[in-house]
A = this chain, B = another copy of it.
Amino acid sequence: MRITDIREATASIRSEIRNAYIDFSGMTISVVALEADPGHGRAPLTGYGFCSNGRYGQGGILRERLIPRIEAAAPDSLLDDRGRLDPFGVWAAMMANEKPGGHGDRAVAAAALDMAVWDLVAKAEGKPLWRLLSDRYNDGAADDRVLVYPGGGYYYPGKGLEQLQTEMRGYRAQGYRVVKMKIGGAPLADDLRRIEAVLEITGGGDSLAVDANGRFDLATALDYARALEPYGLFWYEEPGDPLDYQLNAEVCAAYAGAVATGENLFSLVDTRNLLRHGGMRAERDWLQVDPGLAYGLTEYLRILDMVDELGWSRRRLIPHGGHQLALNVAAGLQTGGSESYPGVFQPFGGFADDCEIVDGYARPSELPGIGVEGKAAMFAEIRRLVDT
């Protein structure tokens, strides 16, 4: 196996939505194509990857640092002992001469490239990625259905309670049970009215998660905690700055319900800091680190080992991002579930076109690799951007 070409491009996933922190009118992602010659006269393979949403495309870092390092690496250093492309070898090559710390845009760039590597590795074995992960890292065990929830309930201009309810009714009609909505972009009293409007649709707090997107200071986070607690929500997400472990610990200490956070932690060490210093409760809270933002599946496997060592169950991990990588990870490694984006970040949000949501669960694709070919509009855009 030899890598023969790596291409990248920037795709727009712009929309008019906003959360409590940013709007998405200029949001982009990076898309990567990785070509390899398997040797022995077999047909060339192409792996596709992209980064998850929220942190912009990373073309500069891909073009100037990560891709040239892989191209300059000794080809055998990128292979495992059976001559197969080795994601850990590729990861080490692209991260050579990078200092520790500073896990931000670099982690996003690496995640896009790493996804293409895993797509290709699974295609080379003719397996869906979730099956390959199950075989290699989970003793053959896998979930044939994965808990999913739509990341929705965004603020956008002119959106009132009725439109919010219509949106949520739509998710339920699509088969979702747990739904999520944004909070923190309006005053507390308005947000409580929004929450109560959605509870009319879900019928109970255990099917509604709320997401503050890191907006609150400690006092506001605790005000919301007190106000939210009676609803018995599925979770209260990212109350404060994602790196303010002390704030998170104070919210966990004050709030009887579940807290979820981690989508803005981009490395093993940051995630470990959350578990060490953030007051998270292993029997109740949720870790949302996104393998599409945080150095890819390769780093996520290391994070799973670390989480095991600290005594957490993998079932407490539900990755952010709503992409097919996360769905494969959840199925093959038996995490707690995956976010989904049926309506936003198109054409990259959501799963394969034939993926039906039944009783709040999704089935991963049976296509070899990550299954990008099974989402027609997304695959067309990927091919337009990075196929020669």
Chain A residues proximal to chain B, CB less than 8 Å? 10, 21-26, 28, 54-61, 63-65, 96-108, 213-214, 241-246, 264-267, 269-270, 272-273, 276-277
Q: Closest approach, in angstroms, between the C-beta of A165 and any C-beta of chain B?
A: 28
B100 touches A214 (CB 8 A): yes
Residues of B close to A25: CB separation below 8 A: 97
Closest B residue to A262 by beta carbon equals B101
Report the Cα distance A98→B23, complex, angstroms.
9
Report the Cα distance A273→B277, complex, angstroms.
9
A100 is contacted by which of B21, B26, B65, B100 (Cβ under 8 Å)? B21
A98 is contacted by which of B22, B245, B277 (Cβ under 8 Å)? B22
Q: How many copies, total? A: 2
Q: Closest approach, in angstroms, between the C-beta of A293 and any C-beta of chain B?
A: 8
Report the Cα distance A273→B278, complex, angstroms.
11
B26 touches A97 (CB 8 A): yes
Task: State the majority secondary structure of interface residues on A.
Answer: loop
Q: Closest approach, in angstroms, between the C-beta of A37 and any C-beta of chain B?
A: 27
Q: Closest approach, in angstroms, between the C-beta of A49 and any C-beta of chain B?
A: 18
Most buried by B among A22, A58, A64: A64
Q: Closest approach, in angstroms, between the C-beta of A26 and any C-beta of chain B?
A: 6
A99 touches B64 (CB 8 A): no
Known: A243-B269, A269-B241. A102 touches B105 (CB 8 A): yes
Report the Cα distance A6→B71, complex, angstroms.
33
Known: A55-B102, A103-B102. A244 touches B266 (CB 8 A): no
Residues of B close to A277: CB separation below 8 A: 245, 273, 276-277
Residues of B close to A103: CB separation below 8 A: 102, 104, 243
Most buried by B among A21, A65, A102, A273: A102
Known: A56-B65, A60-B59. A243 touches B264 (CB 8 A): no
Residues of B close to A99: CB separation below 8 A: 21-22, 54-55, 213-214, 264
Most buried by B among A54, A101, A277: A101
Pairs A–B under 8 Å by Cβ, sample size 5: A28-B64, A56-B65, A99-B264, A101-B264, A245-B276
A266 touches B100 (CB 8 A): no
Residues of B close to A266: CB separation below 8 A: 101-102, 104
Closest B residue to A265 by beta carbon equals B101
Q: Closest approach, in angstroms, between the C-beta of A320 and any C-beta of chain B?
A: 11
A100 touches B264 (CB 8 A): yes
Known: A245-B277, A269-B243, A276-B246. A214 touches B101 (CB 8 A): yes
Residues of B close to A56: CB separation below 8 A: 64-65
Residues of B close to A107: CB separation below 8 A: 102, 104
Report the Cα distance A104→B245, complex, angstroms.
18
Closest B residue to A62 by beta carbon equals B60
Report the Cα distance A63→B272, complex, angstroms.
33
Report the Cα distance A276→B242, complex, angstroms.
15
Q: Closest approach, in angstroms, between the C-beta of A122 and any C-beta of chain B?
A: 28
A97 touches B65 (CB 8 A): no
Residues of B close to A267: CB separation below 8 A: 243
Residues of B close to A105: CB separation below 8 A: 61, 102, 104-106
